[in-house]
Amino acid sequence: MSAKILDGKKAAAKVLENVRQKAAELARRGVTPGLATVLVGDDPASAVYVRQKIKACEAHGLKSVHVPLPADVSEVALLEKIRELNRSPEVHGIIVQLPLPKHIHADRALLAVDPRKDVDGLHPVNQGQWMRLKSWKEILASGRPLPCTPAGVMELLEQNGVRVAGRRATVIGRSTLVGKPLALMLLSADATVTLCHSRTTNIAAVCREADILIAAIGSPRFVKSSMVKRGAVVVDVGSNRTEKGTTGDVDFERVRPLAKAITPVPGGVGPMTVAMLLWNTVRSAEQA
């Protein structure tokens, strides 16, 4: 039997309907949730991501404030623009699109964002607050903005009835954007978690122990069928541009016959990331 497809577009639509409802409630109180996107330079991939976010805002009752800056903008000027957005009552969320040019320290830009407007969930104040909580229920109740992609994975699993508690979950990739926070989220949801990386010895054997296998390593088709236990749930966070088009970190066609459920690329985790960004923004507007 072929694996169930974990449809990110369908799950994202449910989140976005909640976003629309919250935005409508805020509008009745005279508040329009505002999301500011700061884009430095003209990186094609970054420009595509920003356009997607702007389009999503306009479609779901949010105001988009786009701030394009030249590639040679100084770090001082960028930080001042972020502080200006921090002061704006019309802006409830700020994202600084990564990557930034080499002459700008990304950490300084991210730290300049007011934690109350950190809808990417990357500010250490927000990370520290939710990471200190024990359970996933407590984390959700805290109201802290969570990193969008990891939170999107958790929402996708929940909507599809994937049981996390008591299961063995393996995350491949230890980035601060996805791997590390996702491992902690799964742990808080009572999974037994293994975090793999490029130095993991015999990574295939480690992955075969997983009931839930999540690939976030940024390497096309890295996860082969030999790395997957029959009946596992496989989540592909990867999005790699190749000559044959966009592909994930999982060898989808060969892994699918083994898996109980699997996410496609595109159409899996990607739509969830944008949906959770807008969710964080309306929550920020509510709290403001």
Question: Would you state the CATH architecture of domain 31-116?
Answer: 3-Layer(aba) Sandwich (3.40)
Per-residue model confidence as pLDDT tens digits over 137-188: 999 999 999 999 999 999 999 999 999 999 999 999 999 999 999 999 999 9
* SS3 assignment for the chain: CCCEECCHHHHHHHHHHHHHHHHHHHHHCCCCCEEEEEEECCCHHHHHHHHHHHHHHHHCCCEEEEEEECCCCCHHHHHHHHHHHHHCCCCCEEEECCCCCCCCCHHHHHHHCCHHHCCCCCCHHHHHHHHCCCCHHHHHHHCCCCCHHHHHHHHHHHHCCCCCCCCEEEEECCCCCCHHHHHHHHHHCCCEEEEECCCCCCHHHHHCCCCEEEECCCCCCCECHHHCCCCCEEEECCCEEECCEEECCECHHHHCCCCCEECCCCCCHHHHHHHHHHHHHHHHHHHC
Spans of all domains in the chain: 31-116, 135-140+147-270
pTM to 2 decimals? 0.95
Choose which CATH entry (3.40.50.620, 3.40.50.720, 3.40.50.11440, 1.10.8.50) describes domain 135-140+147-270.
Answer: 3.40.50.720
pLDDT over 90 at 43, yes or no: no
Which residues, in sequence order, are bridge partners of residue 39?
68
Q: Compute the distance between CA of residue 216 and CA of residue 171 in angstroms, rounded to an integer.
A: 7
What sign does the dihedral 246-248-251-253 (CA atoms) show?
Answer: negative
Cα separation, 169 vs 26, in Å, equals 38
Distance, CA of 206 to CA of 229 (rounded, Å):
10
Which active-site residues does the annotation give? 53, 97, 120
- pLDDT at 48 (0 to 100): 87
Mean pLDDT of 266-271: 96
> What share of the chain has pLDDT > 70, as a percent?
100
Confidence of residue 1 (pLDDT cuts 50, 70, 90): low
| 31-116 and 135-140+147-270: identical CATH topology | yes
Q: What is the pLDDT of residues 190-223, one digit of tens each?
A: 999 999 999 999 999 999 999 999 999 999 999 9
